Chain A
């Protein structure tokens, strides 16, 4: 599973990274987490708002810190 966290490095993005990391550890899913910080790269995903989370190329959440339960739900599929 390939998880990308989009955000230029603001406190909200760091918190998102932390929540996703925890969710991955707790569910034990084999996932690669990557931080995307380049402004153009972020725009390439078409997201209007950061932090955003992309799981296997699918945009899951935009412009807010996701809840841990939601992240776990994305990981199960």
Chain B
């Protein structure tokens, strides 16, 4: 950071401290809401949802071979295969945008071409394990599922459309030598890696198991009553696997990469929750922005609401995972379910700074078409989801 930038930040902070009417009741209420929301996250979501999800993300980053996936992005890879891999590989390749953009540029210029490149660029940020679990835990599993499915389908559709529209340019690309990360022999079978990841996912599912609606009978209340026993048994199994199957340095690099993600994402999420709480408040508790504004702009499920949510989401920058608390605040203040999905589908994949980088890679015209496709698709998906979910 330049010294001058630091000075500007400091002046901005000073002016805020000086001029914001902190004694005004609305500001007081908003400030209180910010910390109430923070507490809600600390009590409800951090231990049972975020911490296990970080360990899963760490394990994926260290133990899942990226080389096995990346070879499907080469220029010679089969078309169907490269589109399918591009649309789902975000789960293992993309936890931060600093992997996504260089890889996108690589696939576009040297690899499988504009179709798979844009498919990957779109799906990557939306379907990583942290984003999906947090969405499902906080905004409800329906929205989490809709987000995951929407992202995968849109990735393929967007990729195919881009490849079709720009089929002439695509033929002129230069092919060249590509380098993918080395494949390392881990000494474990695919089955062992699979069981290991599955156990962690199950721990996450059971530890975060939501309390069923009062009065419901059958399987769900039984699972809820037993959830801590199941979680403990799974944890014991996990400890055994970690001891028996992994070498010492592998365990160390797993913890290291988990810690890396925590360091990177917790401060962003902390800021996101505070800002969302201050501006929007918890559901049922109004804060700075009056609820009727939000209801007018993105309430209900009209074409206008969905379009507005898509466009706003496309231009706004969401730091990793902060889209979740912001949406929670918006939904609590009266945003419709359709527009919420539209924002989730258009939001994390695109932002103004992101568009500039993408523009630098494939030019303004292609970037414009890419963003337009996503905005249109997100609007429609929002309308469909809003109709189904009511």
Contacts and interface: CB of A to CB of B under 8 A. Distances in A.
Interface residues of A, number: 25
Nearest to B362: A40
A11 B264 contact: yes
B99 A48 contact: no
B179 A10 contact: no
Interface string B92-116: 0000101101111111111100000
Chain B, interface residues (CB within 8 Å), range: 20 to 34
A7 B97 CA distance: 12
B98 A8 contact: yes
A73 to B, nearest CB: 15
Q: Decide if the interface of chain B is mainly helix, strand, loop or mixed.
A: helix
Contact of B98 (A38, A40, A50): A50
Interface in A1-56: 6-13, 38-40, 42-50, 52
Given A39-B101, A43-B108, 10 more contacts: A6-B102, A9-B98, A10-B96, A12-B260, A40-B105, A40-B109, A42-B102, A43-B105, A46-B178, A48-B111
A46 B108 contact: no
A16 B357 CA distance: 23
B360 interface: yes
A7 B105 CA distance: 12
B180 A62 contact: yes
B387 to A, nearest CB: 39
Interface of B: 66, 70, 73, 96, 98-99, 101-111, 176-182, 260, 263-264, 357, 360-361
A49 B109 contact: no
Interface of A: 6-13, 38-40, 42-50, 52, 59, 62-64
A63 B66 contact: yes
Given A62-B181, A63-B66, A49 B176 contact: no
Nearest to A64: B181
Nearest to A45: B179
A12 B96 CA distance: 11
